[in-house]
């Protein structure tokens, strides 16, 4: 609030800042500089105990056998029908301790129920952990100035536990942008303002300022948002997450049998980009817009944003696999149609 937040959304039943009142300035700060985000709503589901690793593998249709302590992995979570129900980052903190850093759906209930039903020896809980992201090309200099040059050696999604002024944190190279950066997992929610101010102070020489997961940059970069770009039937193959599914994991992994069937049959929909005609920003609501080709509905535009770098309105299409990059389509908006062209993702 002290930074001048002007809008919030709800995510995982929490408030997440979505604007500080200067959208274009906030965008360029992420692209050219460094931006500081309160993403405490990326809540953790903790798996702890002798069967923590087994439960993680039962929940995720991605081979986790080579995941090391200190490593993170992007994992699809599916239900028994192979439908995506979340897309967390999994962090392995110890052989018997994992976090799922979740997107916006209730995984705590799910994980606990599965653990009980399978008779596993594991405690599922929510730890007191609140991520803060530091994103942008200058993020590494800022985070290194606070925590030391060792952070420069961290590989993507790897993390290390440390402390600053007595505040326990884990530092990961990750974040929901493609501009590079880190996430600082704060392990004591009462120290949030203190940690925020440490990073804010350290970042001053690099022009740090407040921001949030940036809608324009994330569409340019092709990052999907679970729940926004997915529906009640979406499987990982439809939203470019097929590379995170290992079809040869054990049969007791939830959804794997359905995923094998879906993969063999070939998915019905896939994700492409859309570049809309026109040189002015257009606002769309949060609901999906029909995509038509030759007068018939072929898919949905799930999100759209003004790209400050491309100077075009760009969106994501969840669309019939009969439609390909290069095809011209029409997006329906309030009974009017806007012509556009399909492209591969990411845009940039």
Contact residues toward ligand THG (CB under 6 A) are 42, 74, 87-89, 101-103, 131, 174-176, 183, 223
| For ligand THG, the closer CB: 220 or 330 | 220
* Phi, psi angle pair for 155, to nearest 5°: -85, 165
Least distance (Å) between residue 71 CB and ligand THG? 11
Q: Which is nearer to ligand THG, 176 or 196 (CB)?
A: 176
Instruction: Please say which residue, 174 or 179, places its beta carbon nearer to ligand THG.
Output: 174
Looking at beta carbons only, is 103 or 139 nearer to ligand THG? 103
With respect to ligand THG, which residue has the nearer C-beta, 64 or 331? 64
State the minimum distance, in angstroms, from the CB of residue 295 to ligand THG: 34
CB nearer to ligand THG: give 180 or 267.
180
Cis peptide before 346 (omega within 30 of 0): yes
Residue 238 Cβ vs ligand THG, minimum distance, rounded to whole Å = 15
Question: By C-beta, is 89 or 245 nearer to ligand THG?
Answer: 89
Minimum distance from residue 233 beta carbon to ligand THG (Å): 19
Q: How far is the CB of 174 from ligand THG (least distance, A)?
A: 5
Compare residues 120 and 199 and give the one whose CB is closer to ligand THG. Answer: 199
Residues 6+ apart with CB under 8 A from 160: 70, 150, 151, 154, 170, 171
Smallest separation, CB 290 to ligand THG (Å): 26
Give CA–CA dist 166/195, Å, rounded: 10
Label each residue of the chain as H, E or C: CCCCCCEEEEECCEEEEEECCCHHHHHHHHHHCCEEEECCCCCEEEEECCCHHHHHHHHCCCCCCCCCCCCEEECCEECCCCCEEECCEEEEEECCEEEEECCCCCHHHHHHHHHHHCCCCCEEECCCCEEEEEECCCHHHHHHHHHCHHHHHCCCCCEEEEEECCEEEEEECCCCCCCCEEEEEECCHHHHHHHHHHHHHHHHHHCCEEECCCHHHHHHHCCCCCCCCCCCCCCHHHHCCHHHCCCCCCCCCCCHHHHHHHHHHCCCEEEEEEEECCCCCCCCCCCCEEEEECCEEEEEEEEEEEECCCCEEEEEEEEECCCCCCCEEEEEECCEEEEEEEECCCCC
Of 74 and 288, nearer to ligand THG (C-beta) is: 74
CB of 176 to ligand THG, least distance (A): 4
């Amino acid at each position: 609030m002290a930074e001048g937040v002007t809008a919030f959304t709800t995510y995982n039943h929490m408030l997440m800042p979505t604007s500080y009142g200067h959208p274009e300035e906030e965008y360029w700060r992420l692209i050219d500089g460094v931006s500081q985000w309160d993403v405490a709503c990326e809540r953790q589901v903790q798996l702890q105990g002798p069967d923590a690793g087994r439960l993680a593998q039962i929940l995720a249709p991605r081979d986790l056998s080579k995941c090391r302590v200190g490593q993170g992995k992007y994992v699809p979570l599916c239900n028994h029908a192979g439908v995506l129900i979340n897309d967390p980052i999994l962090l392995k903190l110890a052989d018997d301790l994992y976090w799922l850093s979740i997107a916006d759906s209730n995984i705590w209930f799910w994980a606990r129920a599965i653990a009980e039903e399978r008779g596993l020896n594991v405690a599922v809980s929510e730890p007191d952990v609140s991520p803060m992201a530091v994103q942008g090309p200058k993020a590494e200099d800022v985070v290194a100035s606070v925590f030391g040059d060792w952070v420069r050696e961290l590989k993507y999604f790897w993390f290390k536990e440390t402390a600053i002024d007595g505040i326990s944190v884990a530092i990961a190279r990750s974040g929901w942008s493609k501009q590079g950066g880190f996430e600082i997992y704060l392990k004591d929610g009462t120290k949030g303002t203190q940690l925020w101010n440490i990073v804010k102070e350290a970042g001053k020489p690099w022009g740090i300022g407040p921001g949030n997961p940036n809608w324009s940059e994330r569409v340019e970069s092709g990052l999907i948002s679970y729940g926004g770009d997915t529906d009640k039937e979406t499987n990982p193959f439809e939203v470019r997450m097929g590379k995170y599914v290992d079809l040869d994991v054990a049969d007791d992994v939830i959804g794997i049998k359905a995923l094998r069937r879906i993969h063999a049959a070939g998915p019905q929909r896939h994700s492409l980009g859309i570049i809309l005609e026109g040189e002015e920003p257009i606002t769309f609501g949060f609901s999906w817009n029909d995509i038509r080709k030759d007068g018939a509905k072929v898919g949905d535009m799930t999100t759209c944003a003004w790209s400050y770098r491309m100077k075009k309105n760009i969106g994501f299409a969840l669309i019939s696999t009969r439609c390909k990059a290069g095809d011209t389509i029409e997006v329906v908006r309030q009974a009017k149609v806007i012509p556009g062209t399909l492209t591969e993702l990411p845009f940039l």
